């Protein structure tokens, strides 16, 4: 049976149109967990939700004894913490790739709180067997958050279920810190005010009250629209409905970064208008992605398509995502004549792009698929297994078609 593919060609002239964006699954997933603790099931979900969010909403209503998070790292970690502290019993598992992604720091923290958890397979990795919960008297919980801020967030989110006096410690710091900040802001709205001093997190105030569910357009998803605009002819403009700089999402920094490529970001009543008045590019694209790892594939590929060299740091978490993201980029960008290679803890990009003469792989990774769509500005490109975008941006290919891209689909699963 032929595997699915998309044949993508960029429009000849300037871009001019609107590109609807998915909701932020980072915000939505946190809110779903907080609402679940209030016994509020979200039945009225908007259409075209990211796959991860749809799955989490369903799993929060599921009674077990097996919860399958699929490919969703956020889904697995948040769900595990909630089920464990709620005292549910059963197995939390995921896809083959999910079972290769470490979860030890979260399990260690939950065990300190009083959860009985054992590994069903390789120690430190899913699947997990939950066997009940009896909260301890309080004390210190050490959470290694260097690989993922989601370990910390998962513990913070279940704060409303705890009664003991707990202090959290994050020795070694926190990667993707803006996501932890998002969690703190939501918890404060729910009445739980955590104070941070160095690597010590202390619950300062607890006056629980209901939180409202709200949907916000996703800034990480907007990175692909920005990148396409940065490769389009001068005079191009795109409207991104519902997108605002509200301070909720760390990837809002994207608007500042993309100014280097001549893009203006203009707030409108119902979204954001982005305009490329003139063609320009920075001499170098150097970036530290420690706080914004989900922007790495978009930015590095954009720099490659513009022939902009760069040195990139803060990429240590990308090896344990849906795929080893930098290794996957290295293979795929080489097909376009670009050299991406590691130097110690950094990655360096050099070379000038040319059309891809073989198909681009997606490596089971939604962000790889969308980053590879940028190659279409060098000539038609065939992208394998394009349906992986459903994880975070289900309408992505339709959105490009609406902007004038030629989108030909073929094959089947």
Select from 230, 168, 224, 222 the least CA-distant residue to 194: 168
Given phi > 0 = left and psi -120 to 50 = alpha, else beta, which region is 214?
Answer: beta
Query: Per the residue annotation, which of 294, 324, 387, 413 is the catalytic one?
Result: 294
108 is catalytic: no
User: Could you give all domains of the chain from N- to C-terminal order, each with its CATH number?
Assistant: 5-22+217-410 (3.65.10.10), 25-206 (3.65.10.10)
Strands 89-93, 66-68: pairing kind:
parallel
Q: What is the pLDDT of residue 210?
A: 87
* pLDDT at residue 413, rounded to an integer: 53
Angle at which helix 219-231 crosses helix 296-306, to 10 degrees, equals 0
Q: Is the pLDDT of residue 408 over 70?
A: yes
User: What region, left, alpha or beta, does residue 146 occupy, with left being phi > 0 and alpha being psi -120 to 50 degrees?
Assistant: alpha
Contact (CB, 8 A) for 59 and 91: no
So what's the pLDDT on residue 205?
Answer: 82
Question: What's residue 312's pLDDT?
Answer: 98
Q: What is the mean pLDDT of the chain?
A: 95
User: Per residue in 190-205, pLDDT tens?
Assistant: 999 999 999 999 998 8
> Counting Cβ atoms within 10 Å, is residue 86 exposed (0-12), middle (13-18) or buried (19+)?
middle
pLDDT of residue 374: 98
Per-residue pLDDT for 311 more than 70?
yes
Q: What is the pTM of this model?
A: 0.95
pLDDT in tens, 83-118: 999 999 999 999 999 999 999 999 999 999 999 999
pLDDT at 285 over 80: yes
pLDDT given at position 64 = 93
Whether the predicted pLDDT of 207 surpasses 90: no
Secondary structure of 137-154 in the HEC alphabet?
Answer: CEEEEECCECCCCHHHHH
Task: Using the predicted structure, report yes or no on whether residue 1 has a pLDDT greater than 60.
Answer: no
Residue with tokens 């094959």: 411
For the segment 257-272, the average pLDDT, to the nearest whole number, is: 97
Residue 168's pLDDT band (cuts 50, 70, 90): very high
């Amino acid at each position: 049976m032929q595997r699915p593919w998309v044949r993508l060609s960029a429009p000849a002239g300037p871009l001019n149109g609107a590109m609807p964006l998915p909701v932020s699954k980072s915000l939505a997933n946190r809110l779903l967990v907080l609402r679940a603790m209030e016994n509020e099931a979200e039945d009225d979900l908007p259409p075209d939700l990211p796959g991860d969010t749809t799955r989490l909403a369903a799993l929060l209503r599921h009674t077990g004894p097996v919860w399958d998070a699929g490919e969703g790292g956020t889904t697995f970690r948040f769900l595990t913490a909630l089920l464990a502290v709620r005292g549910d019993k059963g197995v939390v598992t995921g896809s083959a790739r999910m079972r290769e992604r470490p979860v030890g720091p979260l399990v260690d923290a939950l065990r300190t709180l009083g959860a009985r958890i054992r590994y069903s397979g390789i120690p430190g990795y899913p699947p997990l067997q939950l066997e009940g919960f009896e909260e301890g008297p309080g004390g210190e919980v050490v959470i290694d958050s260097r690989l993922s801020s989601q370990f910390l967030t998962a513990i913070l989110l279940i704060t409303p279920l705890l009664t003991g006096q707990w202090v959290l410690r994050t020795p070694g710091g926190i990667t993707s810190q803006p996501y932890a900040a998002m969690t703190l802001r939501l918890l404060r709205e729910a009445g739980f005010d955590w104070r941070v001093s160095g690597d010590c997190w202390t619950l300062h105030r607890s006056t629980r009250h209901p939180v409202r569910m709200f949907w916000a357009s996703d800034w990480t998803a907007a990175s692909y629209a920005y990148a396409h605009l940065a490769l389009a002819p001068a005079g191009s403009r795109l409207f991104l409905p519902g997108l605002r700089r509200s301070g909720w999402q760390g990837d809002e920094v994207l608007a500042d970064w993309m100014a280097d490529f001549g893009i203006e970001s203009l707030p409108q009543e119902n979204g954001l208008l982005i305009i490329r008045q003139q063609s320009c590019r920075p001499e170098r694209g150097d970036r530290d992605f420690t706080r914004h790892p989900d922007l790495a594939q978009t930015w590095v590929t954009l720099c490659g398509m513009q022939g902009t060299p760069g040195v990139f740091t803060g990429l240590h978490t990308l090896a344990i995502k849906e795929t080893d993201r930098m290794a996957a980029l290295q293979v795929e960008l080489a097909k376009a004549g670009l050299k991406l290679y590691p130097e110690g803890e950094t990655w360096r990009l050099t070379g000038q792009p040319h059309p891809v003469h073989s198909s681009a792989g997606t490596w089971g990774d939604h962000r790889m698929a969308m980053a590879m769509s940028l190659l279409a500005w060098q000539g038609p490109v065939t992208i394998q297994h394009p349906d992986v975008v459903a994880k975070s941006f289900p309408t992505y290919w339709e959105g490009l078609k609406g902007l004038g891209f030629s989108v030909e689909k073929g094959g089947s699963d």
